[in-house]
Amino acid sequence: MNDLTSHQQIMEPLTSFANNQPNVPLSIPTFVPPTLRDSERYHVFLSYSSTDYQWTHSVIPQLESCGLRICYNERDFLPGRTVLDNMSECIQESQKVLLVLSSEFVRSRWCLLEANMSLFRDCLERKPVVPVLLESGVSVPLHLCHLTYLEAKDPDFMYKLLKVLCTPNQQLRGSAVVPYQPPSIYNGKALQPLIAANDEGLFKWDCGVFSDMEVPDQLRLIIKDQETYKKALRIINSVAKEKVWLRSLWLRVLVYITAIIVIVVLMSAGLKAMLNVAFFYCERFCAINYFSWIFVAFFSAPLGLLVQICLWKKDDEKYIVRELQKALGQANVVLFEEKVLMGCRSNSKIYLVYVSLDGCKREFTKTFSEQTSADDMFHRALLFFSPGYACCLAKRHFPFPYPSSPGHLQGGVCFCQYVCQQLQDEKWT
């Protein structure tokens, strides 16, 4: 039995409760907590963000009233020990792990679990993990995206939660969390996007700068060589240093005003010279006619310059995104062997996806007879198409119907299928 099938069966009771159970009065406790073994002190270790304190502490009394022993940090962590040491020990002493998923939890709390995953991975592999989605729109962490989760807004939420927490682990048939290794579970999944460090106050014609000082926690288990990630970020940040000119708004305004003054001065001098010539060689009505045309030109030039400035600014916005996409293509050439691709649709946000291109690369090798030619074509495909492909995977939307033939990405469009479609649309530029 493969890993995916095994872990889908793990949460069958939870899936059944989420889909098939009728509404049950929550005021009548009908569940008996599992028996604690010698090494167990708690039924559930509860992990949540401090910003979700109010909701979590409204649920804890309901769980404890049914006889469940709950472990959480404010009450059960030992003073003087690190948070990671406390978390590791509490997970080991608990039957199950309950994660309250919110945007703040994913941003702050989950990184503690993930950063120290190697320390207590063994105990996580043997304990069911029950994710509770506290709010809609939360980007579920990579290592949890294959699990069935409960929604806090479900009217039968408490019944379903108690049902799974009071089900003995052996009836859940093993673990609900798996190590990072099996790619079939995570392949094609979106990660947390990168937001520019200078996102606040960033002009649309400017380019975001992304921190390369430290690898994000979500990538530490994925990218083996952290220097690879930093090299990719340096390529991306080169856009802000080399491709963006006249970045400050005050400098742009100064240049615009200077240009208008120069044009007005030159046109004034030209106007004076042309009037002198007109009065010298022509009759008065001819001079008036010449003066009318010059007058119109004199005032239309600054107006035309202002229109050009507006078009220039609009083109700058598109230009920056195009340059950033080119840099992301170069970064993906570095990152693809780490099974990570990047893409963007704005100047301040980079989408990240975990995807293996091994099968697609082999397809390029089969298609092109010479190895050097195959490598070159695959390299070019990464440069031109990988940013757009990463965006489509992250958004779960492709601008064309899904191919009828299966590709190298189970349940989705693989990279070589995406490239073929783009080539058919003549987008190799």
> In the prediction, which pLDDT does 12 show?
43
Higher pLDDT, 132 or 4: 132
Check whether 178 has a pLDDT greater than 60. no
Spatial separation of the C-alpha atoms in residues 296 and 171, rounded to whole Å = 87
SS3 at position 341: strand
Closest C-alpha among 395, 234, 428, 193 to residue 327: 234
Instruction: Give the CATH number of domain 3-186.
Output: 3.40.50.10140
Spatial separation of the C-alpha atoms in residues 80 and 50, rounded to whole Å = 19
Top-confidence range, 2-6, 89-93, 106-110, 259-263: 89-93
> In the prediction, which pLDDT does 268 show?
66
Higher pLDDT, 429 or 136: 136
**In one letter, which amino acid is 95?**
Q
Please give the distance of CA 264 from its chain centroid, rounded to a whole number. 49
Give the tens place of pLDDT for each residue, 275-334.
566 555 555 545 555 555 555 555 555 655 555 555 455 556 788 889 999 999 999 999
Backbone dihedral angles phi then psi of residue 65, each to the nearest 5 degrees: -70, -20
Higher pLDDT, 103 or 17: 103
pLDDT-wise least confident of 8-22, 75-89, 151-165, 167-181:
8-22
Check whether 177 has a pLDDT greater than 50. no
User: 274 pLDDT band (50/70/90 cuts)?
Assistant: low
What secondary structure letter does DSSP report for 108? I
Tell me the residue ranges of DSSP E strands in 80-239: 94-101, 129-133, 150-151, 189-190, 194-195
> In the prediction, which pLDDT does 41 show?
93
Q: Can you tell me the mean pLDDT for 25-29?
A: 45
> In the prediction, which pLDDT does 43 show?
94
What secondary structure letter does DSSP report for 403? P
> In the prediction, which pLDDT does 36 show?
92
Spatial separation of the C-alpha atoms in residues 333 and 305, rounded to whole Å = 41
Q: Can you tell me the mean pLDDT for 22-44?
A: 73
Query: What sign results for the dihedral spanned by CA atoms 230, 235, 236, 242?
Result: positive
Spatial separation of the C-alpha atoms in residues 307 and 260, rounded to whole Å = 12
Q: What percent of the chain has pLDDT over 70?
A: 64
> In the prediction, which pLDDT does 300 show?
57
Q: Which residue has the tokens 């996102």?
A: 199
For the chain, which residues make up each domain, given as ranges? 3-186, 188-429
Our CA angle for 293, 296, 299, nearest 5°, is 150
Our CA angle for 24, 35, 165, nearest 5°, is 35
Do the beta carbons of residue 124 and residue 92 sit within 8 Å?
A: no
Check whether 179 has a pLDDT greater than 60. no
Q: Can you tell me the mean pLDDT for 205-221?
A: 75
Q: What percent of the chain has pLDDT over 90?
A: 22
> In the prediction, which pLDDT does 313 show?
53
Q: Can you tell me the mean pLDDT for 36-56?
A: 90
Check whether 9 has a pLDDT greater than 50. no
Spatial separation of the C-alpha atoms in residues 325 and 399, rounded to whole Å = 18
Higher pLDDT, 274 or 407: 407
Q: Can you tell me the mean pLDDT for 204-228?
A: 76
Check whether 385 has a pLDDT greater than 90. yes
Tell me the residue ranges of DSSP E strands in 117-221: 129-133, 150-151, 189-190, 194-195
> In the prediction, which pLDDT does 368 show?
79
Our CA angle for 272, 273, 274, nearest 5°, is 95
> In the prediction, which pLDDT does 295 show?
56
Tokens found for residue 255: 């240049």
Q: Can you tell me the mean pLDDT for 378-384?
A: 93
Computed over every residue of the chain, the mean pLDDT equals 75
Spatial separation of the C-alpha atoms in residues 364 and 371, rounded to whole Å = 9
Tokens found for residue 271: 């106007």
> In the prediction, which pLDDT does 328 show?
96
Q: Can you tell me the mean pLDDT for 5-15?
A: 39
> In the prediction, which pLDDT does 129 show?
82
> In the prediction, which pLDDT does 383 show?
95
Q: Can you tell me the mean pLDDT for 134-140?
A: 76
End-to-end Cα spacing for the chain: 46
